């Protein structure tokens, strides 16, 4: 009998045993159990037979009581799916969506209200959410809290930023035990065991409040992470009515830190693309009148050193055309930057002829990238966006960077609240109608919505490169960019703005990029964004041999592999370009410790000979003493070769590998 039970557990989609319902991953290694304990729904998770998530409560607390208390299972629904879908852009060209699903209809014994819990289990993790079917017993309601828990069997080190002290998610991720943390933002990355990593997040955040987690130590040594939704100012978390579904609560599971980067769980738990024709959505590299403003050499507002003048933007366009860049961003092109000016996105400053600039750019094969800073005035964007996007599209603008600097949206609600989530979605959908791509700054944390709305190209929500211009703490530490891929990067593309070539500290003494030049190149590959800005002023790229790597580097990929990964210490990412070229691009970066890594090239196609152009730290390179020292060399390689990467302190390496010929 025992032998038969083991076979069933390994192969069946769902089974019910001892009053508990179990759903396993397609490979049988993960098993999620939903059970009713003392009338309350709970779930647990085992990985390779070991309990990792102990029974954890499910349910919602409404303004008039709990939804999901004293329930019984009214119905069970089972499903399995194994399909491939194509990304218009991304880190892979196709994504496999392979899961087993269990949905339980839970009916409350007293009043008959219905709550459905849906659990999907993948080989790389699980997602679950609540669905509230339309029902006479429940019309409009207010969610005051989720009762959702993740009860881990023991404490563990984790990387996070605190939710109540990190504006715009622009913080340094700190590694501490879970029990040492306050309420934190998701994603929360946990090194549960030396060979088991977990990432807790959410997917498909739609008309709901953003998720945070509060850790609490239990008497038995376990740690319970409680859902903590971002509220409206009234204290209500979500306003809704029956016929709704919450976002997915996700747990990504990986045996190595590198495999966290390869999970597509968050994307898979979003709805398929709603844009029928995506041909106008174009990833690419761009330049910007941006860094010179942060370095106080130009201004956003009109004046003697205004950055966004017709003449200066045309100069950037000329450079972009010569070096194969798709676009040029200019912040400060519209009124509203100086004190007393009224913000509008429907006209330009007098010294910036936007229509002439757009024509000039298109003649050069480049597009101007618009910018809409609102200072938190979301209502202004909503009033003007339809007319503004129509005007931009008419001029040939295809991408717009939006911004929300200001603690509260419209002076009243947090950007992470349901109020903010509704606003961001309206902007994305309006932009799609006008064939506009969005780069959203000061956003809610990304949750994979780019699958549904692939015009949502990239977002900030990260402590980016600008902190290396003016931050009073000296700028981002060397460990920052080797931590981000495993934390903020798990949420989706991030507009970090890499590739600063000049290390001057003329704004705040001691504040500058704490990295070598080779590391700046490596970050261009490691820190993924389909709209990737080479962020430095163009003067610092002129005549610089290292710039040839940036010139050639794509921003959308057919395949991604992660040969090396240790959170906060080092990471190597290799990506193959889309199309028939077959080129690979590799970025490898380290923290303040120099190290040597062996890179097997077994991701290359066997039987093909390649030319590898390597941009590496020179022997004397050091992020403090000599950040510019670089060695550029060319090698002939095959899939059977191994490269030795010598990374300086806070150093890196960037490699372009292109096929020469194939024996096939």
Catalytic residue among 373, 413, 466, 577, which?
466
First to last CA, the chain: 53
Under a CB-based contact definition with an 8 Å cutoff, are residues 201 and 252 in contact? yes
Specify burial of residue 464 (Cβ count, 10 A radius: 0-12, 13-18, 19+): buried
Nearest residue to 650 via CA among 478, 502, 510, 497: 478
Helix, strand, coil: what percent of the chain each, to 5? 20, 40, 45
Does the active-site annotation cover 101?
A: no
Cα 452 to Cα 247: distance, rounded to the nearest angstrom: 14
Q: Secondary structure of 133-169 in the HEC alphabet?
A: CCECCECEEEEEEECCEEEECCCCEEEECECCCCHHH
Task: Report CA 571 to chain centroid distance, whole Å.
Answer: 17
Q: Which two tokens stand for residue 506?
A: 């003329």
Under a CB-based contact definition with an 8 Å cutoff, are residues 571 and 526 in contact? yes
Under a CB-based contact definition with an 8 Å cutoff, are residues 486 and 259 in contact? no
Specify burial of residue 412 (Cβ count, 10 A radius: 0-12, 13-18, 19+): exposed
Q: Which two tokens stand for residue 285?
A: 């590299």
Q: Read out DSSP for 625-636?
A: TBTT-EEEEEEE
Specify burial of residue 4 (Cβ count, 10 A radius: 0-12, 13-18, 19+): exposed
Give the length of the chain.
Answer: 664
Under a CB-based contact definition with an 8 Å cutoff, are residues 484 and 520 in contact? no
Cα 453 to Cα 443: distance, rounded to the nearest angstrom: 15
Helix (H) or strand (E) holding 622: none
Cα 465 to Cα 480: distance, rounded to the nearest angstrom: 11
Active centre residues (catalytic) = 466
């Amino acid at each position: 009998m025992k032998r038969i039970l083991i076979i069933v557990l390994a192969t069946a989609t769902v089974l019910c045993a001892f009053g508990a319902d179990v759903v396993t991953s397609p490979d049988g290694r993960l098993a999620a159990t939903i059970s009713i304990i003392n009338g309350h729904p709970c779930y647990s998770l085992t990985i390779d037979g070991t309990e990792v998530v102990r029974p954890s409560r499910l349910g919602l607390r409404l303004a008039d009581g709990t939804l999901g208390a004293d329930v019984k299972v009214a119905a069970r629904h089972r499903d399995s799916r194994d399909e491939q879908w194509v990304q218009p852009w991304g880190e892979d060209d196709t994504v496999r969506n392979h899961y087993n699903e269990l949905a339980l209809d839970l009916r409350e014994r007293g009043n008959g209200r219905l709550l459905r819990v849906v659990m999907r289990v993948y080989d790389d993790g699980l997602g679950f959410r609540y669905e509230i079917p339309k029902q006479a017993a429940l019309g409009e309601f207010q969610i005051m809290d989720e009762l959702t828990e993740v009860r881990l069997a023991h404490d563990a080190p984790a990387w996070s930023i605190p939710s109540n002290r990190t504006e715009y998610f622009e913080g340094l991720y700190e590694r501490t035990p879970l029990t040492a943390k306050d309420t934190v933002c998701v994603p929360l990355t946990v090194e549960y065991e030396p060979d088991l990593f977990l990432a807790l997040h959410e997917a498909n955040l739609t008309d709901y409040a953003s998720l945070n987690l509060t850790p609490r130590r239990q008497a038995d040594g376990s740690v319970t992470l409680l859902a903590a939704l971002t509220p409206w100012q009234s204290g209500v978390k979500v306003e809704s009515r029956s016929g709704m579904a919450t976002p997915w609560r996700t747990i990504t599971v990986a045996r190595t830190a590198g495999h966290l980067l390869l999970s597509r769980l968050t994307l898979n738990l979003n709805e398929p693309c709603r844009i029928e024709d995506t041909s106008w959505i174009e990833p690419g590299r761009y330049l910007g009148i941006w860094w010179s403003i942060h370095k106080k050499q130009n201004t956003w507002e009109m004046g003697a050193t205004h950055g966004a003048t017709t003449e200066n933007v045309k100069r950037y366009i000329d450079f972009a055309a010569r070096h194969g860049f798709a676009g040029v961003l200019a912040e400060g092109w519209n009124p509203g930057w100086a004190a007393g000016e009224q913000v509008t996105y429907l006209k330009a400053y007098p010294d910036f002829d936007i229509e002439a600039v757009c024509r000039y750019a298109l003649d050069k094969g480049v597009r101007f990238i618009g910018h809409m800073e609102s200072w938190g005035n979301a209502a202004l964007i909503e009033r003007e966006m339809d007319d503004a996007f129509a005007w931009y599209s008419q001029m040939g603008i295809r991408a717009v960077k939006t911004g929300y600097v200001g603690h509260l949206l419209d002076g009243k609600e947090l950007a992470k609240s349901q109020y903010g989530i509704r606003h961001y979605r309206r902007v994305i959908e309006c932009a799609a109608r006008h064939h506009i791509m969005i780069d959203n700054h000061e956003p809610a944390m990304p949750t994979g919505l780019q699958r549904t709305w692939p015009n949502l190209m990239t977002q900030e929500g990260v402590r980016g490169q600008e902190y290396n211009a003016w931050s009073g703490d000296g700028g981002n530490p060397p460990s920052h960019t080797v931590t981000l891929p495993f934390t903020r990067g798990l949420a989706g593309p991030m507009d970090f703005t890499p590739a600063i070539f000049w290390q001057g500290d003329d704004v705040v003494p001691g504040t500058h990029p704490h990295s070598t030049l080779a590391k700046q190149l490596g970050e261009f590959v490691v820190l993924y964004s389909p709209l990737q800005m080479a962020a430095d002023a163009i003067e610092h790229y002129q005549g610089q041999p290292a710039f040839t790597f940036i010139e050639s580097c794509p921003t959308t990929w057919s395949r991604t592999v992660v040969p090396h990964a240790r959170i906060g210490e080092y990471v190597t990412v290799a990506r193959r370009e889309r199309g028939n070229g077959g080129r690979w691009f590799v970025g490898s970066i380290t923290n303040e410790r120099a190290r040597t890594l062996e890179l097997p090239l077994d991701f290359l196609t066997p039987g093909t000979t390649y030319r590898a152009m390597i941009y590496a730290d020179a022997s004397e390179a050091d992020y403090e003493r000599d950040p510019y020292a670089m060695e550029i060399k060319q090698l002939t390689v095959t899939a059977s070769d191994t490269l030795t990467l010598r990374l300086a302190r806070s150093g890196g390496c960037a490699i372009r590998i292109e096929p020469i010929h194939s024996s096939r």
